[in-house]
Amino acid sequence: MSDDGQPEPGRGYRQGPVLLRGQQIPTTTSDQRLLSRPEGGASWLHDDPWRVMRIQSEFVEGFGALAEVGPAVSVFGSARTRADEPAYALAVDVARLLVEAGYAVITGGGPGIMEAANRGAKEADGLSIGLGIELPFEQGMNDWVDLGVNFRYFFARKTMFVKYSEGFIVLPGGFGTLDELFEALTLVQTHKVVEFPIVLVGREHWQGLLDWISGPVVSAGLISPVDPDLIKVVDTAEEAVDIVVRRGVELRRREEEAVAEAEAAQEAAQASTDES
């Protein structure tokens, strides 16, 4: 099965560093056990502290694996997309252009759009990264991933997507893709992260959602009128990558200016101290 339950030849169930097959595959995931309500007794008082150590190890492993990947962009989209569909070829082109622009490509490591983006990155001789997740059915990292990290917990995996990406390019997808899209939007809107670019590819697919956000959601005062501007929508791989590249140049310029200002302020303060 694929990472959203679609038929896909399995090559093993990953549970952190452990590979399970056949009858060894559990019926629940680590996320399910973490989020389930305790039924009777207080065993959770003993189980959850140990679970915290496991969560900590996931962050340590993720940070260690990804710390030196350099500039990277996350590409999201449906696991159900077939290799003969236009969106698959579009994702390959997006990844290839990202590599040519100097970026590594990060995906969820599964089939469909994820596989296409990893394929585009690898075929362009770039760094192809997959961040897998433990799910209640067999699934494996796609064959185009060069650097793969498997996670038990969705929140640890999501942290890696955001921490090591300079932008999100989102192709047509379902609930998982929407989850990733709106998490990124929320982090940017609330200034929890730098305003990295969020680009939707495929205007026909996304236009209904954009109309709803810009219409009823804005009209009801549920978001600010400027919030829809956080999303860019395009139809081609070239447009998507161009937005990411231009935004990256702008953010690096701002960072350099901020560093220069801080250094100048420090020098001025030191000079004032020396005079006194």
- The residue extents of the domains of the chain are 60-242
How many Cα neighbours within 13 Å face the side chain of 189? 16
Extract the tokens encoding 66.
Answer: 């990804």
Residue-wise pLDDT tens for the chain (276 aa)? 334 444 444 455 666 656 565 665 666 666 666 666 666 555 555 566 777 888 898 999 999 999 999 999 999 999 999 999 999 999 999 999 999 999 999 999 999 999 999 999 999 999 999 998 876 654 578 999 999 998 988 899 999 999 999 999 999 999 999 999 999 999 999 988 888 899 999 999 999 999 999 999 999 999 999 999 999 999 999 999 999 999 988 888 888 888 888 888 888 778 777 776
CB contact set of 263 (below 8 Å; sequence gap of 6+) = none
Per-residue H/E/C for 175-192: HHHHHHHHHHHHHHHCCC
For residue range 193-202, list pLDDT tens digits in order: 888 899 999 9
Q: Please tell me whether residue 170 adopts helix, strand or coil conformation.
A: strand
CB 171, CB 75: distance < 8 Å: yes
Separation of alpha carbons 78 and 170, rounded Å: 9
Q: List, as one string, the DSSP characters of 233-270.
A: EESSHHHHHHHHHHHHHHHHHHHHHHHHHHHHHHHHHH
pTM for the model stands at: 0.80
How is residue 53 written in tokens? 């150590």
Indicate the burial class of 226 (C-beta count within 10 angstroms; 0-12, 13-18, 19 or more): exposed
Cβ atoms of residues 150 and 134 within 8 Å: yes
Please report the pLDDT score of residue 252 as a whole number.
81
Task: Pull the structure tokens for residue 102.
Answer: 């100097």
Strands 13-15 and 18-20: antiparallel
Q: Which CATH number is 60-242 given?
A: 3.40.50.450
Rg of the chain (C-alpha set)? 21
- Indicate the residue type of 67: A
How far apart CA 198 and CA 178 sit, in angstroms, is 12
Which tens digit of pLDDT belongs to each residue from 242-264?
999 999 888 888 888 888 888 88
Residue 114, helix vs strand vs coil: helix
pLDDT of the residue at 221: 96
Find all residues with CB under 8 Å of 14, minimum gap 6, and list them.
20, 132, 134, 139, 140, 141, 150
CB half-sphere exposure, 43, CA atoms < 13 A: 8
